[in-house]
Chain A
Amino acid sequence: MSDLRTAATGLGARGGRAPRPRSSLMPAWPGVLFVTPYVVLMIVFGIAPAAYAIVLSVSKADGGFAGLANLKRVTGDFRFVPALQHVALYIGIWLVAMIVLVVLLALMVHQVRRRWARTSVRFVYYVPGALAGASSVLLWLFMLDPAASPIGFVLRWLGFSSFAQTIAPSHLPVILAVIAFWTGAGGWIVVMYGALNNISGDLLEAARIDGAGAVQIAIHIQLPLLRKWIAYMSVLSIAAGTQLFVEPTLLSQASNAIVPNDYSLNQLAYQYAFTLNDLNGSAAISVLLLIVTALASAVFVTRGGLFDTEPTS
């Protein structure tokens, strides 16, 4: 965003009547150069499809204007409200787990004194995230089957004697949140750790001299300075979470549909597009997701001060 702003200022200055000295004009060009590929890709693969989806969502199958008819149809579908509840519950559990545990773990890793220990712990956290989405879910299919899982005794202790019992519908939000946390948290721990490293040593030193302990430093200095990063993580996590698709889809196939293939909103959109041949209904769900995600992100962006410019001093 700030890149765009820089680029715009640069262009404006160039066209202005009283051009600034050459030296301040020059840096604008590299900025434009850097940002152009991103802008082009964003338009082609982000904005244009979104615009197409919005057009589809208010159109009839034959192209006429449908108004809100598509939206009414999909929200009236008996699968819509359950799917919405599933996704909301999942995001709720996952987001809280992410914010609390990721920050906590990053703070703990940061406290580790030995360099080699710190590096290896960070590496270990990161490993699960290196597995691509679908393959990590396949791994979990085995983890969740008491007959095949290395933690089968835990599952049996919890009272699950078969895969079908483990993945009973009421357990799914937690299971999906655990899978998502396992695959996604490591990367964020590394990011948070980097953010912690950015906090000036002088500041921490001053706090220590004033008698602050590790907990007080964490609460009063590190956490407030991590606020932006937490907001950033939340925005991206909400965007990813609302698009829940791969996990329930694979679970559905592996469980012979005990996990339904319309568990999440994104799956329902897929069903509309490819099972019911109703791309307009599908687009209506996508647009709904877009609106909800944009609103939720707006909250985090404003509350988290994500776009606040740094004081230039």
Chain B
Amino acid sequence: MSKLFHHRMLRSNTGRNVLAGALLMSALAACSSGGSTPAVGAGAGGTYGFAQAAQNSSAPITVWVDSDRAAAVAAFTKANPGVAVKVVTYDGSANGSNSFKTKIGLLDRAGQGWPDVVFSTQNNDAAWASQKTNGKAAFGAVLDQGLIPPGVLGGFTKGALDPCTVSGHVYCLRNDLAQNVLWFDKTLMTKFGYTLPTSWEDYQTLSAKVAQEHPGYLTGGVGDAWTPEVFMWASQCGANQVTGPRAVTIEATGPNCQRAAKLIDAGVANKTLSTVSVFSPGFVKQYAGKVLMMPGPAWFAGAVFNNPSALKLPAGQLGVAAPLAWSGAQPVTGDVGGGTWFISSHSKNLAAASKFAQFVTTSDDYQVDLAPGYPAFGAAAAKWISKQESSKYYATSLQPIIDAGGQIWSGWGSPEFSQEAVWAKTMTPLVNSGQSIAANLQKWQDALKNQAQVTGYTVK
């Protein structure tokens, strides 16, 4: 269940902060001038680009993980019995609880007690963890100034560290990726005699056909908060363009947003898109065995299809295809979540914290053997996929998942506020009351701008 919860929550959006060289330089300057005089760094590495606490290479490290990631800690202690690790299990900031930020805010006020490494189910925590708050040092240690070797950082799938990157610097390591692909029931597709769509236009045409010929069958869902990350992101809608640590450009009414909104409206109207959450008991009751296709994140396989408490799709039926593309546009996709690991800038044992963070994100012992989600680290991802394929559950090759990992559109950012929360609050009630999304994009844009503003962003 916790796996479900990890994925259900208000994950915010991944994306990239594409940065000009000039900005990068000013950020570097800001980094080195912030904070008090650096203490002597661990080892000969120097300062890692931030003010450190006095280091003690034998100090135990405290790590905060959710219950799913407890296995990662166990794997680490097994492989590194010499490092003392204190585990604190928390909710992983899941389901919109925001507990990571809340707890760090309180510890900042107390001025002590910070954990050394934190796992978060969210992928937008770098937006605040990279920033000073109320004059206190940023919680997240900058990782690309020597704390994590460049070789390790370079091993992550292209774009995987974008949600961790603020002003050109990396503040967290990605645990898993949640790129969207097209899931489908191969048995049903063959039975109905349909060909798999490759573009959103074909998808919409086929959905209309399904509504006519096989009413009651689904080709997707819009009942969850991550709907904009599946449909709007893949359509390159400019609703979430993070242009700086505190600047965002929101254009949610343009043609790219319109086409995706119209696609949603059509699907809701002909009932091929479910308006109930894929995790609700009603969804399972109504649609088990009736999901023909479903654009959605990589983790749908385990959480929605091959899950005894969800759709319970038998082995040999589930297929996966490349994410749909709009014709004439480059094939891009969005993603829905993907956890992150942070190292505390207050850590008294940065060497051990760094070792831990590298282990849990890159080692086969955890990422291939135990991890439930698609690893963000490239080498582990390939092995993880072949392990999944060897389970014989899937009806097709899983290569489209690997390909989609590198196709996540970089124009959708990871701001501090939750895109999903704004969608759920503003647009989901419209969907549920049968109103048009396309006709209400202005409402969405206004809500996003308001939310960005109160979160302290300069909004364009």
Contacts and interface: CB of A to CB of B under 8 A. Distances in A.
B105 A252 contact: no
Interface string B270-307: 00000111001110010000000000000000000000
Nearest to A253: B95
Contacts of B455: 275-276
A145 B428 contact: no
Interface in A142-173: 145-148, 161-165, 168-169
A298 interface: no
A256 interface: yes
Contacts of B275: 162, 164
Contacts of A78: 450, 453-454
A215 B424 CA distance: 50
Contacts of A169: 429
B223 A164 contact: yes
A301 to B, nearest CB: 36
Interface string A221-258: 00000000000000000000000000000001101111
Given A162-B275, A253-B96, A260 B454 contact: no
A164 B105 contact: no
Interface in A256-304: 256-258, 260-261, 273-277
A256 B424 contact: yes
Interface in B352-400: none
Nearest to B223: A164
Nearest to A79: B454
Contact of A164 (B96, B281, B432): B432
A89 to B, nearest CB: 17
B57 interface: no
B454 A163 contact: no
B246 interface: no
A147 B98 contact: no
B99 to A, nearest CB: 9
A171 to B, nearest CB: 10
Contacts of A256: 8-10, 95-96, 224-225, 277, 420, 424
Contacts of A164: 223, 275-277, 428-429, 432
Which of B96, B135, B418, B454 has the most chain A CB atoms inside 10 A of its CB? B454
Contacts of A61: 134
Contact of A257 (B96, B282, B432): B96
A1 B434 CA distance: 56
A256 B425 CA distance: 9
Nearest to A152: B282
Given A162-B432, A164-B275, A274-B105, A257 B425 contact: yes
A202 interface: no
A260 B426 CA distance: 9
Given A162-B276, A168-B433, A147 B285 contact: yes
A168 B276 CA distance: 13
Contact of B424 (A79, A162, A258, A273): A258
A308 interface: no
A203 B52 CA distance: 79
Contact of B96 (A161, A261, A274): A261
Contacts of A273: 105
Contacts of A260: 421, 424-425
A210 interface: no
A62 interface: yes
A199 to B, nearest CB: 49
B424 A257 contact: yes
A115 B102 CA distance: 53
Contacts of B433: 165, 168
B424 A147 contact: no
A15 B133 CA distance: 55
Contact of B432 (A77, A168, A261): A168
B96 A162 contact: no
A148 B95 contact: no
Which of B418, B428, B456 has the most chain A CB atoms inside 10 A of its CB? B428
Given A165-B432, A256-B224, A145 B282 contact: yes
Which of A162, A255, A256 has the most chain B CB atoms inside 10 A of its CB? A256
B280 A162 contact: yes
B164 to A, nearest CB: 20
Given A168-B433, A253-B95, A257-B96, A147 B101 contact: no
Contact of A252 (B96, B101, B428): B96
A78 B425 CA distance: 14
B134 A146 contact: no
B205 interface: no
B261 to A, nearest CB: 18
Nearest to A142: B281
B77 interface: no
Interface in B417-460: 418, 420-421, 424-425, 428-429, 432-433, 450, 453-456
Contact of B282 (A163, A168, A252, A258): A163
Interface string A94-117: 000000000000000000000000
B33 interface: no
Interface in B322-342: none
Contact of B133 (A62, A162, A261, A277): A277
A77 B281 contact: no
Contact of A168 (B97, B105, B133, B429): B429
Nearest to B446: A78
B97 A253 contact: yes
Nearest to A279: B109
Contacts of A257: 10, 96, 225, 418, 420-421, 424-425
Contacts of A275: 98, 101-102, 455
Interface of A: 61-62, 77-79, 145-148, 161-165, 168-169, 252-253, 255-258, 260-261, 273-277
Given A253-B95, A257-B96, A275-B455, 15 more contacts: A77-B454, A78-B454, A147-B281, A163-B280, A165-B433, A169-B429, A252-B96, A256-B8, A256-B224, A257-B10, A257-B420, A260-B424, A274-B102, A276-B455, A276-B456
Q: What 3 A-B pairs come out closest when comparing CB atoms?
A: A147-B282, A257-B424, A274-B102
